[in-house]
Amino acid sequence: MGRRYTGNGTAASGANKTCLNLISAATIRPALYDLVIGSVATPADAAVKWHVARTTAVGTEGSGFTPIALDPGDPASLADYAVAHSSEPTYTSNAVLLQISMNQRNTFRWVAAPGGEMVAPATASNGLGCKTVSVSTGTTAYEVVMFHEE
């Protein structure tokens, strides 16, 4: 098993709004194995469609999130996380790895079975982005938590 790390981010939802982007590096293939999506905003009804998809450029992040090693003895992660983009990452067309439609009141979790991880290529600035594709109403903030190994 590779070294495991976690990162999280909060961002407003909307049409094609990235909440959290796992950015690869030229030396490793980060593998996403756990994903949690939820909102702490005042409960309300809003239908949201989420995509986890491949990215090839990082865009402009509002802030970064340094991955936290689950084992404190591990070195710093080679991959990185980006949060709350002012300029969206570039998504590869037809490369949606997971699609979820849910109500704002829901919390979603996806966990990979061993060997079922979503793997990003070992290419700098490539990665896996988690974004809201469409929202029925409002711009409610959502939290996304990712766990990856590398």
Partner 1 sequence: MSDKKWTALRPKGTSILSGPDGVIEADTLQCVHCGCHWQVQPGSGKLRGFCSRCNGPVCGPQCSECVPMERQLEIMEGSSNGTEVSTSVIWTPGS
β-partners of residue 130 are: 20, 52
**3-class state of residue 105 by DSSP:** coil
From the list 87, 106, 136, 137, which residue makes contact with partner 1 (rule: CB under 8 A)? 106
Phi, psi of 108 (to 5 degrees): -115, 140
Among 41, 68, 119, 145, binds partner 1 (CB under 8 A): 119
Contact (Cβ atoms closer than 8 angstroms) between residue 41 and residue 112: no
Three-class secondary structure of residue 1 per DSSP: coil
126 binds partner 1 per the rule CB under 8 A: yes
Q: How many CB atoms lie within 10 A of CB 93?
A: 8
- Tell the smallest beta-carbon distance from residue 112 to partner 1 (Å): 5
Interface pick for partner 1 out of 16, 57, 62, 121 (rule CB under 8 A):
121
28 binds partner 1 (CB under 8 A): no
Task: Give residues 42-101 in contact with partner 1 (rule: CB under 8 A).
Answer: 54, 94-100
Residues that bind partner 1 in the complex, under the rule CB under 8 A: 29, 54, 94-100, 102-103, 105-113, 115-116, 118-119, 121-123, 126
